[in-house]
Chain A
């Protein structure tokens, strides 16, 4: 009896870490883009970097419950570290320079982690925002080191080819492979970490810090550890951007970037590691798609999508937003008219939210019962046919 429970326990715990078919398909598709979409490598590089950056935020937000509005601080510091290492020929090998960029960002993360230990979400938002603002202005002030508002020039002059062989070419092929390889390695590491006892203890802390310390978990040290690690991840993402673009600028430290990465993670969904990657893909493609219709106002639509997702959940909100935005594009409305339509839909949908959510739940239930009925019916039909066939 006991043995049976033990087996069930082991299976239950290890199942969480098993690689599913969707995961396999995701990564096969990701690596297939190297050959299948050679003309898209520049934007894919950008997406992969956003994905890694959002993954770093997921580590603290999705798994430890630490919300940050200043994660660009670590991204930017990593970018400048990688840029400066190359510019001054300290470390010319990109992959080693990137490790250092991550370490520098992690050191900053460790130093500021003590500020986010205590307090509510609001305190954490303000503290992280403050840290990012300080970093931004420091980079702005010390223009002789960072290049200030002009950005850091001359990164490409001394950046060696990766492993001394693969030079970053104009079309970004090697840069994409390099970025994707980093993303993959960092993802596998993160996956391993969140499925470890340490990762589980983070989830526990997120769920109930009081009980966590009551079972002997050193809550603060665990939070410091994951915050430091997350900062390192963000630093590597920033370093990748600096290396692949051969440039570092103040925008990499900006509040906009911190807000964007939060947006990306929320669109993709925190707490399961793929949220950041999916979010980056959706966000960047959406941005590309929408700005082809209205290059000036694309953020208006993004805002609309976000509000719909918050009101109706990720899937249904996404569908509703797609239908309404699709309609404005289909009828070829001018920006003014589509603003009006979207604004009105916001008002109506916002007011009718409760009823709509109820309808959606009802419809979901009916569809699922209908599906299961069809399933059992078709199963019995098939079985009857088979029996009949065997009989004849």
Chain B
């Protein structure tokens, strides 16, 4: 099957530092693809390249076979790539209702509407209500985001990306920093994402990766090191070596 998102020989250099070098990954439709690697392997750089926050120094990014390498970040969202951030990027002064309402109304193209009152389009409010319920945010929907518990903020982080109805959802360490007690809610939410949404999970926590992913790419020093199904990657001695901190040989 043709991949939904594909990179070809993606490079990114910051001056003399190589953050991504010749990365070619193909993510097939509906996949639960995980991207792992030690600290500083270039995982977040790779996400920033996919979403357009950074421009690559070389190579290509294709969505459904069409190049999106040089599109603005918001255009990529409109085409169906949404992401969450490792460190919350939310609207501190807005409520979950407004945050999700924004994302939904942008998708409906009414973000340029300067005349109608917010909340006057029935289709949008129904969708916002569904999202609030799906992500367990209904009981805090009218509170300022800044005052929400951290776990709820993490859920909102995923919800607002999901509100863009992405075909590819990039989750950048969705459970990072969440206390153990609230962790399961986030993992259950991720597990319950619709099957037709392709998910690329960037994660540190191997338990999460191996319980969730059907394919794993290992990034080391900005290069694609190993790729394959979870069982193969788990058994790969080179991956073990990287994660045990042993020196790499050539």
Q: Which residues of A contact B (CB under 8 A)?
A: 1-2, 5-6, 8-10, 12-14, 16-17, 192-193, 195-201, 203-204, 207-208, 210-211, 213-219, 222
Residues of A within 8 A of B129 (CB): 2, 5-6, 8-9
User: Nearest CB to that of B139 among chain A residues?
Assistant: A5
Q: Taking the nearest CB of chain B, how far is it from the CB of A12, in angstroms?
A: 5
On chain A, the residues within 8 Å of B105 by CB distance are 197, 200
CB distance from A106 to the nearest CB of B (A): 14
| Interface residue B184 (Cβ < 8 Å from any Cβ of A) | no
- On whether the beta carbons of A196 and B74 are closer than 8 Å, the reply is no
Within 8 A of A (CB), among B123-157: 125-126, 128-130, 132-133, 138, 141-142
Q: Are B114's CB and A211's CB within 8 A? A: no
Q: Kindly list chain A residues whose C-beta atoms are within 8 Å of the C-beta of B97.
A: 9, 12-13
CA–CA, A215 and B163, complex, Å: 8
A9 touches B74 (CB 8 A): no
**Segment touching A, from B3-11, B23-31, B83-91, B242-250:** B83-91
Q: Which of B91, B110, B142 contacts A211 (CB 8 A)?
A: B91
Report yes or no: B90 in contact with A211, Cβ–Cβ below 8 A. yes
Once bound together, how far apart are the Cα atoms of A211 and B95, in whole Å?
15
Q: Given the known inter-chain contacts A2-B130, A5-B141, A214-B73, please indicate yes or no for A198 contacting B98, CB distance below 8 A.
A: no
How far, in Å, is A240 (CB) from chain B's closest CB? 23
Known contacts A10-B119, A14-B117, A200-B118, A5 near B138 by CB under 8 Å = yes
A217-B94 contact, Cβ under 8 Å, with A6-B125, A9-B132, A12-B142: no
Give CA–CA (A219, B53) in the complex, Å. Answer: 13
**Are A207 and B91 within 8 A (Cβ)?**
yes
Q: In the bound complex, do residue B114 and residue A200 qualify as a contact, i.e. CB atoms below 8 Å apart?
A: no
Known contacts A216-B107, A219-B74; A196 and B128 CB within 8 A of each other = no
Whether B117 and A215, one on each chain, are in contact in the complex, defined by CB atoms closer than 8 angstroms, is no
> Which has the most chain A C-beta neighbours within 10 Å: B114, B115, B160, B164?
B114
Chain B positions within 8 Å of A9 at CB level: 97, 101, 119, 125, 128-129, 132, 141
- Whether A14 lies near B132 (C-beta < 8 A) is no
Tell me if A214 and B114 are in contact (CB < 8 A).
no
Cβ–Cβ < 8 Å partners of A217 in chain B: 74, 102, 106, 111
Judging by beta carbons under 8 Å apart, are B83 and A214 in contact? yes
Q: Which of B122, B125, B128, B161 contacts A214 (CB 8 A)?
A: B161
Among B24-73, those with CB < 8 Å from A are: 51, 53, 72-73
* A197–B116 touching, CB < 8 Å: yes
Is B93 among interface residues, defined by CB-CB distance under 8 A?
Answer: yes
Give chain A residues whose Cβ lies under 8 Å from the Cβ of B78: 216
The interface size bin for chain B is 35 or more
Whether the Cβ atoms of B118 and A196 lie closer than 8 Å is yes
User: Is A216 within 8 A of B103, CB to CB?
Assistant: yes
Cα(A14)–Cα(B82), bound, Å: 28
Q: List the 8 closest pairs (A to B, CB-CB), nearest first.
A: A13-B119, A216-B77, A6-B129, A198-B114, A211-B89, A5-B129, A207-B91, A215-B103
Find chain B residues with CB under 8 A from A195 CB: 117-118
Contacting A201 at CB < 8 Å: which of B77, B111, B119, B161? B111
Identify B101's interface contact among A13, A198, A199, A208, CB under 8 A: A13
Nearest-CB residue, chain B, relative to A221:
B112
**Which residues of A are found within 8 Å of B89, using beta-carbon distances?**
208, 210-211, 214
Residue of A2, A14, A199, A208 most packed against chain B (CB within 10 A): A208
Which residues of chain B are near A14, meaning CB under 8 Å? 117-120
Chain A neighbourhood of B117, CB < 8 A? 13-14, 17, 192, 195-196
Query: Counting CB contacts under 8 A, is B92 at the interface?
Result: yes
Instruction: Say which residue of A8, A13, A199, A207 sits within 8 Å of B114 (CB atoms).
Output: A199
Residues of B within 8 A of A196 (CB): 113-118
Query: Nearest Cβ in chain A — how far from B73, in angstroms?
Result: 4
Query: Do residues A215 and B118 form an inter-chain contact, with CB atoms below 8 A?
Result: no
**Contact status B92-A207, CB under 8 Å:** yes
Cα–Cα distance between A170 and B124 once the two chains are bound (Å)? 54
Instruction: Give the distance to chain A from B106, nearest Cβ to Cβ, in Å.
Output: 5
A13 touching B125 in the complex, CB below 8 Å, given contacts A201-B106, A213-B74 = yes
How many Å lie between the Cα of A193 and that of B85 in the bound state? Answer: 30
Q: How far is the CB of A118 from chain B (nearest CB, A)?
A: 14
Measured between alpha carbons, how far is A329 from B231 in the docked complex, in Å? 84
Given A2-B130, A9-B97, A197-B105: A218 in contact with B72 (beta carbons within 8 A) = yes
Contacts of B90 in A (CB 8 A): 208, 211
Additional pairs, 8, CB under 8 Å, beyond known A13-B125, A193-B114: A6-B126, A12-B97, A195-B117, A196-B117, A214-B74, A216-B78, A216-B164, A222-B111
Q: Which of B74, B97, B98, B113 has the most CB of A within 10 A?
A: B74
B114 proximity list for chain A (CB < 8 A): 192-193, 196-199
Chain A residues whose CB sits within 8 angstroms of the CB of B106 once the complex forms = 197, 201, 215-217
From A193, A197, A198, A215, give the contact of B164 (CB < 8 A).
Answer: A215
Give A67 Cβ to nearest chain B Cβ, in Å: 17
Contact B132 A5, beta carbon cutoff 8 Å? yes
Decide if A5 touches B133 in the complex (CB within 8 Å). Answer: yes
CB pair B73 A204 closer than 8 Å: no
